[in-house]
Homo-oligomer: A and B are copies of this chain.
Amino acid sequence: MDRKPRDKDMNEIVSLCKRRGFIFASSDIYGGLQGVYDYGPLGVELKRNLMASWWRAMVYERDDVEGLDGAILTHRLVLRHSGHEATFADPMVDCRSCKSRWRADHLVKGKCEKCGSSDLTEPRPFNMMFKTTVGPIVDDESYAYLRPETAQAIFTNFKNVIDSTSRRLPFGIAQIGKAFRNEITPRNFIFRVREFEQMELEFFVMPGTDDEWHEKWVAARQNWWMEQGLAKENLKLYRQTKEELSHYSKATVDILYKFPHGFEELEGIANRTDYDLGSHTKEQGQFKLMARVEPNHDSVEKLAVRDAESEQFIVPFVIEPSAGVDRGVLALLTEGYTVEDLENGSQRVVLKLRRHLAPIKVAVMPLARNNEAIVDMAKQIKAKLQSLGIGRILLENTGNIGKGYRRHDEVGTPICVTVDFETIEKTPAKVTIRDRDTMKQERVAVSELPQFVREYFRPSDSQ
């Protein structure tokens, strides 16, 4: 079989996503909402599988991480003391002529892209947080923000988690959830959007051990992405220069992936020092903070731990591996999308997702859609395989097996099971199993099918 590797095309991926139900433009019957997407029947499974894989690796398989699920609506004081109110902004210019507004760094010609005028204002910071009024009265204090990152709920709950779990350093708190940024120019499909999902870990360590933990997490996160199927040659580490670092960061390493539009950030692993807990703690003066923090007279909790040796209270350093779920999904789709030339001269599209990530694990297909005995047998097999708890099993009752195989290649279903006339007529009952990648078919006894499928999807054999 002849396989031609080639550059992945964003348009083909976007088209597959819409056509097969991975991702739709949100509110599209009303013209859409720029930078906002909905996940369809297959997209929701792919996204859930990716998030479950992260949660398994970060919370379940470790002995030093707790989970959290914080709210999206966030108190204005949280985002004031986190620094977001002051610094989470892009520079914008207004066109005095047509009143349109632009990101300063996007107007490369120095002229308004709408009307061509060069009568532009000086750049002004535009805060990217979404704001909303909470409660019945509109006044200066009754607003909240949609969180621009999940991290802050981890910091504000630091003491709650310590108190309820008796954790000691080093330990982490993991969270998956939605975050919102009022991007001026959302672009590249689900890469830069206004509503997105993050997978963030805040790992708290003793000052002095932070550099070592930072390196450990960079390695762990790179490995994890490779275990999700991203090829090593499509991943790159980028160490931010001193000029590029955020004000709170001692060191940040970005994991870049080769998206259709080029190598771009998939995950960032930052050493945030004691900036976050130091910013949110009360009695800041008690601690020797390394980070420069703004005064905080609002917080009512001390966000510090007692060091057993020195008996001093210490504000931990934090290492933050922060990954985008939507960017992860786009990376998986990009990596998996493959066009193969077949022996008979035709082509097929295959989405080569790892087994644990595939939206549909097994498609069970009756050969004749109106034959009651065949359809009943297929339903029974589907129910049996579903009870294994490995993910979604689909009963695909279209009656066209060849088309069914192609459809399932395109969405990454690892195996198809066909129930035919022999299945119901012969003893022992056998079905045809067809493999997505090799396209090989084999007959397996129905009685042995659950064991076959369970083995096929064993985590350790995932490929």
Contact = CB atoms under 8 A, between A and B. Distances in A.
Contact of A34 (B32, B135, B391): B135
A30 B68 contact: no
A303 to B, nearest CB: 8
Interface stretch (A20-28, A242-250, A314-322): A20-28
Interface string A274-318: 000000100000000000000000111101000000000000000
Interface stretch (A115-123, A177-185, A233-241, A419-427): A177-185
Interface stretch (A41-49, A201-209, A224-232, A346-354): A41-49
Contact of A41 (B75, B144, B161): B161
Contact of A38 (B33, B42, B44, B68): B68
Interface in A156-182: 156-157, 159-161, 163-166, 173, 178, 180, 182
Contact of A20 (B69, B72, B164): B164
A389 interface: yes
Contacts of A163: 19
A361 B130 CA distance: 39
A365 to B, nearest CB: 13
B386 A389 contact: no
A281 B303 CA distance: 53
A195 B50 CA distance: 25
A156 B101 contact: no
A61 interface: yes
B77 A27 contact: yes
A459 interface: yes
Interface string A128-141: 00111111110000
B28 A156 contact: yes
Contacts of A47: 69
A111 B457 CA distance: 66
Given A132-B130, A134-B194, A393 B73 contact: no
Contacts of A298: 30
Contacts of A386: 60-61
Nearest to A64: B395
Q: Which of A44, A59, A393 has the most CB of B within 10 A?
A: A44
Nearest to A184: B136
Given A29-B299, A157-B38, A134 B182 contact: yes
Contacts of A132: 130-132, 146
Given A69-B47, A146-B132, A392-B59, A24 B160 contact: yes
Counted per complex, copies of this chain come to 2
Contacts of A459: 387, 389
B135 A182 contact: yes
Contact of A69 (B34, B39, B153, B157): B39
Contact of A92 (B33, B136, B398): B136
Contacts of A153: 26, 38
Given A40-B68, A68-B38, A379-B63, A74 B33 contact: yes
B180 A73 contact: yes
A84 to B, nearest CB: 14
B24 A157 contact: yes
Given A19-B164, A69-B43, A69-B44, A75 B32 contact: yes
A156 to B, nearest CB: 5
B156 A29 contact: yes
A36 interface: yes
A382 interface: yes
B164 A33 contact: no
A67 interface: yes
Interface string A363-398: 000000000000000010011001101011101001
24 contacts: A26-B73, A27-B74, A29-B303, A30-B298, A33-B71, A33-B73, A39-B70, A40-B68, A40-B157, A41-B67, A41-B68, A42-B164, A59-B392, A60-B393, A61-B383, A72-B72, A72-B195, A73-B195, A101-B136, A130-B133, A132-B146, A135-B182, A135-B184, A387-B459
The 8 closest A-B pairs by CB, nearest first: A21-B164, A27-B75, A41-B66, A39-B69, A30-B77, A44-B69, A101-B136, A38-B70
